[in-house]
Amino acid sequence: MDTIIAHRSVDHDLPEPGVAALQEDIDRHLKYSLGKDAAHASIYDWRMSLSLAIRDRIVDPWFASTRRTYELERKRVYYLSLEFLIGRLLGDAAVNLQLDDIARDALANLNVDYETVVHDEPDAALGNGGLGRLAACYLDSLSTLGCPAYGYGIRYEHGLFRQGFEGGRQVESAEAWLSQRNAWEFERPEAAYEIGFGGHVSKENGAAVWHPEETVFASGYDTPIIGWKGRWANTLRLWSAKPTKLFDLQKFNQGDYLAAAETEALARTISRVLYPDDTTGQGKELRLKQEYFFTAASVRDIVRRFKSECSDLRQLPNRVAIQMNDTHPAIAGPELVRILHDDNRMELNEAVDLSQACLSYTNHTLLPEALERWPEDMMRRVLPRHMDLIEHIDARHARQHPGRPAHVAIIEHGAVKMGELAFLTSHRVNGVSALHTRLMKESVFRDLHRLHPDRIVSQTNGVTPRRWLWSCNRPLSRLITETIGEGWVGDLERLDTLTPHTDDPAFLEKFAGAKRQNKIALSNWLKETVGVTADPEAMFDIQIKRIHEYKRQLMNIIETIALWAAIREDPGADWTPRVKIFGGKAAPGYAVAKEVIRLINDVATVINSDPVMEGRLTVVYPPNYNVSMAERLIPAADLSEQISTAGKEASGTGNMKFAMNGAPTIGTLDGANVEIRERVGADNFFLFGLTAEEVERRRQDPDHAREAIEASPQLSRALGLIADGTFSPDEPQRYHGLVDQLYNHDYFLVCSDFDAYYAMQRHVDGVFKSRDTWFHVAAMNTAKVGWFSSDRAIRGYMEEIWEASSAL
């Protein structure tokens, strides 16, 4: 029995009706859904009971939204994404329904602590990083804006791996969020589609018929997504793979138990794991099958829903907008054409045009190694009919554009290029920041852009202020409401009215107070979880994101080493105390990223045990960074590290979250940093480094790294310390490879940007010392970044891409 005693007492004599009703429902669910008596209920039982009681309150608005969409005959948006990095849902649902205070009181009456219950929920980590988290923010905004929409994805049994550190090294273990009941989903056994793979294509009465060799069922699970203030709810439908043939009884009876279960096991592997690779489009057949599996199920569901309302398939683009989140669902084009042409006998070119009018594609990366390409023979083996249709689409495009350069072809040198496929089957293609969109037009899609100059548009990313400000940062949210009134959470550009207050010392004092409160909370959590003391008076300097060479965590840790050396040389100088916080996972197969992780941990060990530091410099790297950890770290940040090599980070979204929470950026002119700086003002952004154009030029110099190292005493010294085994005394040569690579192949220009970075960090030290200036800068960041709400981004998609409107 682990009943938790509430931290605060409740002094209502008579509970408010909302509280009483919720309390009753929690009790009822505890008894009848969980089969537990309050005296024996665990935190899990309370969490389930509260979640079910809250879910009950979502169902009516959910039904009402669906009914209204049918009544108004509205166009629906379908967001197809292989990843939804949702995090926890209980706190979010409670906040959106404005039930969080009521739930807190109801649980307190039952002697249970609300925060403990909320933190008991495992993260739904069905994504790797920014791309998946963006999808989750967009679901929140689609519901908030009352845009009729469905998210479609895969119900992975295992989300992103759990990260641990052993001897500083990343070790991965399986994550199992579904080992507990998922309170939010509704199983939909009636929404099941048979999805085929392999086999052959025959001609019957002039029409192509695909005879798949292997089939699985895609079975739907629905999670309602309630928007801000509970005015609208959409559906996230995740597909789970089930066997079409349950069990081979004959084989079983012959004693061949493994073979008997083979078909079942094969089917289940499709929705078993999220690919943890954010570096390369994995050349794995399973990955292609996952992509086709969820895309085909979604497209079938979309056409079925359309047909339930309208019999004229030519009306499809008026009712259906399908967004492909990167190229993972790019098979949607050929699949829709197949359904329209093969199954519904529409003329082929009409089917191609119609599906193009429904589809659009968001590109999230320019890194060539991350652009998906499938071997043509594998594609033909797994999806023979789709391969025919891709050839048709490609050949038709070649006919329409006789002079097109060879490399814009979808199929080239035995590979199917999914970027080109997505581009040619979409009516709109968008980049995720202004810079990224410009570079897309100039690089990966240069020739396609020339042929189709109206197709590429820009939609700068956004983040939901509900999760990323209102609920994760209560002290600051309260101050904002106290200062500018209510209404800003659903209309974030109102934050701009904070601007005049950023010169008011009394306001800035309160702003500093809110930050301090968050820093104390984080400091306590760090002490409890990793045993490191982080002084809340010090500057909390945070870099959290996937570990990737282009994101340059390596540059950050080298700067940390250089600073450490400088402090040791002159401990009496007036140093600004800093806590450097890192968070993030490396793809399990990404060796260099894993070395960087180990280096950060090794450096932390040495610096944190150096008595000379005495709180002047601390390095912390809590393992297993995820959405919930981000919710703790971001509100407590003083400084946001956005230091990627210019031209490589498509947008970034963490940069927006930090700025919103009053942490100015130290950063390069990359991704959405550019637009953040334009909005907060150059004085309130710590800019350094080469521009995207300068990066390209600098790379032409074969000696760029060596020259930069030789010109920089700080950098040479720091690299020397890494190379001489200062941080790996038991294995001095441990980082020789890493240092060597910097000297000889510093593709991401860590060395060339280092001095500017180091100098800007020292400037930041100076500004931090002047409290008034610092908090003015911090508050200006909060005041000026309302535009980065995902509500603005979704409005942009609705107008410019989907031609969809709100049903509110």
Active site residue 653: yes
Which residue has the CB atom at the shortest distance from ligand F58?
130
Determine, following the binding rule CB under 6 A, whether residue 642 of this chain makes contact with ligand F58. no
Among 364, 648, 776, 784, the active-site one is 364
Active site residue 529: no
Query: Under rule CB under 6 A, which residues in 355-374 are in contact with ligand F58?
Result: 364-365, 370
CA–CA distance, 386 with 397 (Å, rounded to integer): 16
Phi, psi of 687 (to 5 degrees): -90, 140
Q: Tell me the DSSP string of 131-200.
A: HHHHHHHHHHHHHHTT--EEEEEE--SB-SPEEEEETTEEEEE---GGGS--TT-EEEEEEEEEEEES-E
Instruction: Indicate whether 649 belongs to the interface with ligand F58 (CB under 6 A).
Output: yes
Say whether residue 801 binds ligand F58 (CB under 6 A). Answer: no
Distance, CA of 221 to CA of 738 (rounded, Å):
45
User: 329 vs 786, which CB is nearer to ligand F58?
Assistant: 329
Instruction: Give the separation between CA 432 and CA 138, rounded to whole angstroms.
Output: 13
Is residue 738 near ligand F58 by the rule CB under 6 A? no
Catalytic residue list contains 545: yes
Contacting range for ligand F58; rule: CB under 6 A; set: 110-118, 171-179, 392-400, 647-655 = 647-655
The answer to whether 290 touches 154, Cβ cutoff 8 Å, is: yes
The DSSP secondary-structure symbol of 245 reads S
Cβ within 8 Å of residue 581, ≥6 positions away: 534, 540, 541, 542, 543, 544, 620, 621, 622, 633, 637
Taking CB under 6 A as the criterion, the residue among 131, 339, 444, 659 binding ligand F58 is 131
d(Cα 784, Cα 350) in Å, to the nearest integer? 47
Q: Does 647 bind ligand F58 (CB under 6 A)?
A: no
Please tell me whether residue 632 binds ligand F58 under the rule CB under 6 A.
no
Q: Does 227 bind ligand F58 (CB under 6 A)?
A: no
Shortest Å distance, C-beta 738 to ligand F58: 23
By beta-carbon proximity to ligand F58, the closer residue of 560 and 668 is 668
Q: Which is nearer to ligand F58, 236 or 672 (CB)?
A: 672
Please tell me the count of residues contacting ligand F58 according to CB under 6 A. 18
- Only one of the segments 93-101, 123-131, 631-639, 691-699 lies at the binding site for ligand F58 (rule: CB under 6 A); that segment is 123-131
Q: How many CB atoms lie within 10 A of CB 591?
A: 11
CB-based contact 330:382 (threshold 8 Å): no
Q: Please report, as residue ranges, which positions from 253 to 292 form the binding site for ligand F58 (by CB under 6 A).
A: 277-278
Q: Of 36, 546, 552, 677, which residue is the catalytic one?
A: 546
Q: Which residues contact 230 (CB under 8 A, 6 or more apart)?
A: 57, 58, 61, 96, 97, 98
* Shortest distance, position 372 Cβ to ligand F58, whole Å: 8
**Is residue 342 a contact point for ligand F58 (CB under 6 A)?**
no
Question: Is residue 421 within 8 Å of residue 390, measured between CB atoms?
Answer: yes
List the one residue from 65, 81, 96, 128 that touches ligand F58 (CB under 6 A).
Answer: 128
Tokens 């739930």 belong to 103
Structure tokens at 601: 């941990």
Least distance to ligand F58, CB of residue 367, Å: 8
Q: Among residues 653, 714, 752, 789, which is the contact residue for ligand F58, using CB under 6 A?
A: 653
Is residue 650 a contact residue for ligand F58 (CB under 6 A)? yes
Given 449, 545, 585, 616, the catalytic residue: 545
Residue 340 sits at the vertex; the CA angle it makes with 336 and 344, to the nearest 5 degrees, is 145
Q: Catalytic: which of 548, 551, 594, 734?
A: 551
- Asked whether position 641 contacts ligand F58 by CB under 6 A, the answer is no
**By CB under 6 A, what part of segment 428-467 binds ligand F58?**
432, 461
Nearest to 148 by CA among 51, 59, 78, 44: 78
Contact positions vs ligand F58 (CB under 6 A): 128-131, 134, 277-278, 364-365, 370, 432, 461, 649-653, 671
Catalytic residues: 364, 545-546, 551, 653, 657
